[in-house]
Amino acid sequence: GAVVSQHPSRVICKSGTSVKIECRSLDFQATTMFWYRQFPKQSLMLMATSNEGSKATYEQGVEKDKFLINHASLTLSTLTVTSAHPEDSSFYICSARDVSTYGSPLHFGNGTRLTVT
């Protein structure tokens, strides 16, 4: 089945530093990828839609200058959390739409648990 690889799975960083998270679709091309954030016992919250070759679309309340998204190819999107602070600690999950499959389901990466100290 479709596989989405996300790296790193876990990262601990100091406040003020930047962290880059990679999301790759391994066996299908993804013109659109999505970045979600999930706090403990909460639902997934869409942060932004990453579009290959164009600017990302951010959801209301998400700072585009803090969460930088780059979708450089049909298989890779990156999320950079700039100047991270403890309140940015969360579970970040990417997903990619497999348009080659009927229904174009979303497949998720394994997530990145970010802890900012």
Q: How far is the CB of 103 from another protein (least distance, A)?
A: 5
Q: Which of 13, 20, 49, 80 binds another protein (CB under 8 A)?
A: 49
Q: For the residues of the chain, what is the DSSP string, one character each?
A: ---EEEE-SEEEE-TT--EEEEEEESSS--SEEEEEEE-TT---EEEEEEETTS--EEPTT--TTTEEEEEEETTEEEEEE-S--GGG-EEEEEEEE-TTSTT--EEE---EEEEE-
Q: Does 97 bind another protein (CB under 8 A)?
A: yes
Of the candidate spans 11-19, 22-30, 69-77, 90-98, the one that interacts with another protein by CB under 8 A turns out to be 90-98
Q: Does 89 bind another protein (CB under 8 A)?
A: no
Q: Which of 5, 57, 70, 80 binds another protein (CB under 8 A)?
A: 57
How many residues contact another protein, by CB under 8 A? Answer: 22
